Structure 1
Amino acid sequence: MRTERANSGGQAERRDLKVVVGAAIIRDGQVLACARAAPPEVAGMWEFPGGKVEPGESETAALVRECAEELAVRVEVGDRVGRNVRMAHGRSVLKVYAARLLHDDQPQALEHSALRWLSAGELDSVTWLPADIPIVAALRPLLAPEDAAR
């Protein structure tokens, strides 16, 4: 993804935005939330698992790789959830996709301090990273109402 901005001389300057992908892993009407272990300024805040798309890698391939690395799970990537969210002082954009676990895999907190499955009614029970907040709002309609999840 490319963007333009004016440099100090008034000339348009082109630069590539880094793409960060996240997985809204949905199971039984709940979504998986992950507590950051580091860095200290965001430790304990919650996010969707994922990470940077490497050069030459597709967004979906990056998400499959990141879920395997962070959670030791295999996922099938579905549709986008929400809009692009600018982050890191405008140098990166977050794109979140719905995903589902494959082969009865169970997520493990390999890089996070905790994992929680949240229903639509529990989404506000954790402190989300700022970039994930717009995604949480877009995710609500995809989760089953609490009554239906029981």
Structure 2
Amino acid sequence: MPSPTRSIHVVAGVITDARGRILLNRRTDNRDMAGLWEFPGGKREPGESSEQALVRELREELGIEADVGNWIMDVPQRYPDKHLVLEVRHIRSWKGSPRGREGQAITWVAPEKLGRYSMPPADLPVVAALRHPDRYLITPAVGANAVDALQWQQQLQRAVDSGLQRIQLRPGQDHPEWAALVADAVKGQRRPVQWLLNRDIALARELGIGVHLGSEQLHTLAARPLPADQLVAASCHDLPALQAAQRLGCDFAVLGPVQATASHPGAVPMGWEAFAALRAQVSLPIYALGGLGVDDITTARRNGAQGIAAISGLWPA
């Protein structure tokens, strides 16, 4: 009879120096996943708070006395021999000079270069949370039973002006001006925005922007459809879709519906427990979708999400 899977709560710290670089530890040869880089920290022992565990671990690993700051996220992750929850906290300040006291290599990495380091699956969503937005706007459709083109353009501009930085442009009922609307939105924008186009790989490639794949496209593609400098995302509703998105090399996925949503009234919501269970089986950054708004971002991150994706919850009135 197989032994029950261990459950482990690990607390890790994001330590930033005066230049904005982030400290990483390299796992030593006598540990599983040897050679991979990770955020420093370790297992929370019985009777310890998360803060106590992280202070102790950073003292043992790095020889520093840390002042533990704000919580960032929890990442549930399933490994062959254990179920892990990685809790991640900012380190406000520390005393001492960090060094690898357990024989491990350490390095300071600029945030934009974190993706170059091979990491355990649980650490990868943390990198995304540190570098990328916690909100992903999906625009409403243009055309029949939706906003007209001028209204759509005006509201999209308000969304950008409000600070939204990752936006999926979603077409309507074969709107005749759709390609021109997309081109105008992308080329006429002076604020930094990560644009993704719903499903249309050819137009995304032409405009030099990202693409958001529909779940039905995931199983028809043999390889990532755009180069590394153009984002590729995917809509997912189950584990096979998430695994397909990961195999394709998608930069992130959207998973839901978590709660009931007006845009898909017939869809059965999965709830947060099922969301976290699916998230734990891949290493992709994932946005939670379905009846969510800004007030749900903390709950989403408690369940391992990058943040929330929404139409009405983020679209300006």
Give the TM interval when normalised to the shorter protein.
0.7 to 0.9
Q: How far apart are residue 18 of structure 1 and its match?
A: 2.6
- Which residue, out of 90, 98, 109, partners 1:107? 98
The equivalent residue for 1:55 is: 46
The aligned length equals 127
Paired AA for residue 91 in structure 1: H
- Which residue, out of 125, 143, 150, partners 1:134? 125
Give the secondary structure class of the aligned counterpart of 1:82.
Answer: strand
Deviations 1:103-138 (A, max 9, x none): 3x2111112531111112211221111110001111
Contact 2:114 2:127 in 1 (8 A): yes
The equivalent residue for 2:193 is: none
Q: 1:21 to 1:87 in 2, by over 3 A?
A: farther
- Quick check: which has more Rg, 1 or 2? 2
C-alpha distance in structure 1 between counterparts of 2:47 and 2:75, whole Å: 20
The equivalent residue for 2:15 is: 25
Deviations 1:20-73 (A, max 9, x none): 111111122111011111336522110011111111110010000000000100
The equivalent residue for 2:87 is: 95
Q: How far apart are residue 81 of structure 1 and its match?
A: 1.8
Q: How far apart are residue 85 of structure 1 and its match?
A: 2.6
The equivalent residue for 1:64 is: 55
Contact 1:42 1:129 in 2 (8 A): yes
- Unmatched 5+ stretches in structure 2: 133-317
Q: How far apart are residue 74 of structure 1 and its match?
A: 0.8
Q: 1:62 to 1:41 in 2, by over 3 A?
A: closer
Please identify, of 57-66 and 109-118, the stretch whose mean Cα deviation from structure 2 is larger: 109-118
C-alpha distance in structure 2 between counterparts of 1:67 and 1:135, whole Å: 18
C-alpha distance in structure 1 between counterparts of 2:83 and 2:36, whole Å: 21
Contact 1:70 1:110 in 2 (8 A): yes
Please identify, of 53-62 and 37-46, the stretch whose mean Cα deviation from structure 2 is larger: 37-46
User: RMSD in angstroms over aligned alpha carbons?
Assistant: 2.3
Paired AA for residue 19 in structure 1: H
Give the secondary structure class of the aligned counterpart of 1:27.
Answer: coil
- Unmatched 5+ stretches in structure 1: 1-14, 142-150
By relative contact order (CA 8 Å, sep 6+), the higher-ranking structure is: 1
- Which residue, out of 14, 30, 34, partners 2:25? 34
- Which residue, out of 64, 67, 74, partners 1:76? 67
C-alpha distance in structure 1 between counterparts of 2:44 and 2:11, whole Å: 7
C-alpha distance in structure 2 between counterparts of 1:61 and 1:87, whole Å: 25
Q: Which has the higher strand share?
A: 1
C-alpha distance in structure 1 between counterparts of 2:104 and 2:77, whole Å: 25
